[in-house]
Amino acid sequence: MLAHIEAIKAALAPLGWQVHYVSVPEPPTFPYVLLWSGTGDPGSEPPLCGPVDDLEAVVGVTVVAGSPEGVLAVQSAVRAVLSPGDARTPLGVAGRSASLKRTGGQTVQVDRDVKIPGTNTSPAFSVDLYDLHSTPAT
């Protein structure tokens, strides 16, 4: 699973924002993208013999910015890379045939429990969920 997370980070790197996995260093630099996931599950089609090499997982992509408008701008750019038009999109993972598809998300919210360091304002965030499907490359 970590190879897939690293591939997502690499795909987003040209956008220029920091991309973290599960935790964000303090103090955060806004805007940023936070990836999170489980370990994934075996694919839905078990092989007749041999190990299960398919991987199915949900990857969460949280965008955090200093304003709701900032979230919308960053989220739009992230979606255009990971799943443009919500289409299933190839993901470059060595030795794997992997792809992502955005399957849903939530509206932009302001986190009033947190203050941006040095200000009296709260950051905004939104979460998108992506279906990750990965099989051994043939």
Q: Each residue of 26-83: pLDDT tens digit?
A: 889 999 999 999 877 655 545 544 455 899 999 999 999 999 999 999 999 999 999 9
Q: What integer pLDDT is reported at residue 38 of this predicted model?
A: 86
Say whether pLDDT at 104 is over 70: yes
Say whether pLDDT at 89 is over 90: yes
Higher-confidence position of 116 and 48: 116
Q: Are 126 and 109 in contact (CB under 8 A)?
A: yes
Say whether pLDDT at 91 is over 50: yes
Q: What integer pLDDT is reported at residue 117 of this predicted model?
A: 87
Euclidean distance between CA atoms 34 and 38, whole angstroms? 14
Residue 113: Cβ within 10 Å count: 6
pTM: 0.90
Burial of 119 (0-12, 13-18, 19+ CB in 10 A): exposed
Reported as a single tens digit per residue, the pLDDT across 5-18 is 999 999 999 999 99
Quick one: average pLDDT of 118-133? Answer: 96
The helix (run of H) or strand (run of E) holding residue 12 is helix 2-12
What residues form DSSP beta bridges with 105? 128
Q: What integer pLDDT is reported at residue 43 of this predicted model?
A: 53
